[in-house]
Amino acid sequence: MQWDLLLQLTLNGLIVGALYGVVAMSFVLIYKASQVVNFAQGEFLLIGAWTCWWLLTEFRLPFVWGFLLTLVFMTIFGVLLQVIVLRPLIGEPVISVIMVTIGLSIFFQALMKWMFGVFAEPFPPIFETQAVRIAGLEVQSVYLLSLVISLAIMAAFAWFFTASKYGLAMRATAFDQQVAQSLGISVRMVFAMAWAISAIVSAVAGVVVGVVNGVSSGLSFYGIKVFPAVILGGLDSVLGAVLGGIIIGLLENIAHFFDSTILHWGNMFQIAPFYVLIVILLIKPYGLFGTRNIERV
């Protein structure tokens, strides 16, 4: 056994898993608040990363400013998407809404290819030191930063939902829109806010991945990885999304380890999460933390 490799892959799994968790959280946020299964979540990462890349390379902005401008852009983008595309769909069958988000995914995917080309583009270097050594392991400094950012976003989410006025309003809206309205909550506002926050958070993840691997349409694959993560955790649980993301990240990398050292089946890295997805759906259809309706008789 190559313990070094296993350790390295486990660490990678944790870091990538935390990013999956962040994207999964923003997916769950939209699902919880507005009951939309957003198949275009991965494209949010793509759009955020390309926007930031474009600002940095075209205008030579310092990273911080480019990053902040990207977040501003994504806020507007999220709100407009909700208001223009999804608001008219309120009350339409779920399948129509799903078709529309799949359509959005294809549309943005193509639009980004048309605007920025099909090749991966590296970000301008941001850190002086590309990698640091921790306990004998080579860790890229952007990876470390990504872990810190992921944890910060998670903490912000926790605070937002439990202690802020709009977080409470969002939970109330997720539970029952009519009642929320009767208590003075503007459901339109809550929906728009959910999409904006989701777009911002996904863009942060997109930029982080882009800095590590370069920006390419492969980024939108994170949107697909979100499904095993959220179904593992339970579709409507933010905590579940985080844990689901980390588990999927670890699983990929550990599957990859066994695949490359012992099994040699090939491509387990890509496939393993989806095997787990199927097994979970068979034995625990609500996921690990999903809400079952409380029944009282």
Partner 1 sequence: MEQDTPILEVERVSLRFGGVRALTDVSFSVPRGELFSIIGPNGAGKTSMVNCISGRYRPTEGRILFDGRDITALGPNKRAGLGIGRTFQNLALFGHMSVLDNILVGRHHLMRHGFLTGMVYWLFGAQREELAHRRAVEDIIDFLEIQHIRKAAAGTLPYGLRKRVELARAIALRPRLLLLDEPMAGMNLEEKEDMARFIVDLNEEWGMTVIMIEHDMGVVMDISHRVIVLDFGRKIAEGTPEQVLADPHVKRAYLGEEDELLIDETERAG
Nearer to partner 1, 98 or 172 (CB): 172
Sorted by sequence, the CB contacts under 8 Å of residue 255 that are 6+ apart come out as 268, 269, 271, 272
CA distances from 64 to 2, 30, 52 (A): 39, 27, 10
Binding flag, residue 83, partner 1 (CB under 8 A): no
Count of C-beta atoms within a 10 Å radius of residue 65: 12
Instruction: Indicate which single residue of 165, 264, 282, 283 sits in contact with partner 1 (rule: CB under 8 A).
Output: 165
Q: What is the CA radius of gyration of the chain?
A: 19
Residues that contact partner 1, how many (by CB under 8 A): 25
Indicate which single residue of 166, 221, 269, 286 sits in contact with partner 1 (rule: CB under 8 A): 166
Distance of alpha carbon 227 from alpha carbon 241, whole angstroms: 10
Quick note: the x/- pattern for partner 1 over 277-296, rule CB under 8 A, is: --------------x-xx-x
186 in contact with partner 1 (CB under 8 A) = yes
Among 91, 93, 136, 184, binds partner 1 (CB under 8 A): 184
Question: CB of residue 294 vs partner 1: minimum separation in angstroms?
Answer: 4
CA dihedral (148, 150, 155, 156) in degrees, to 10, reads 110
155 binds partner 1 (CB under 8 A): no
φ, ψ (nearest 5 deg) of residue 134: -120, 120
Q: Which of 76, 94, 148, 183 binds partner 1 (CB under 8 A)?
A: 183
Binding stretches for partner 1 (CB under 8 A): 160, 163-166, 168-169, 171-172, 175-176, 178-187, 291, 293-294, 296
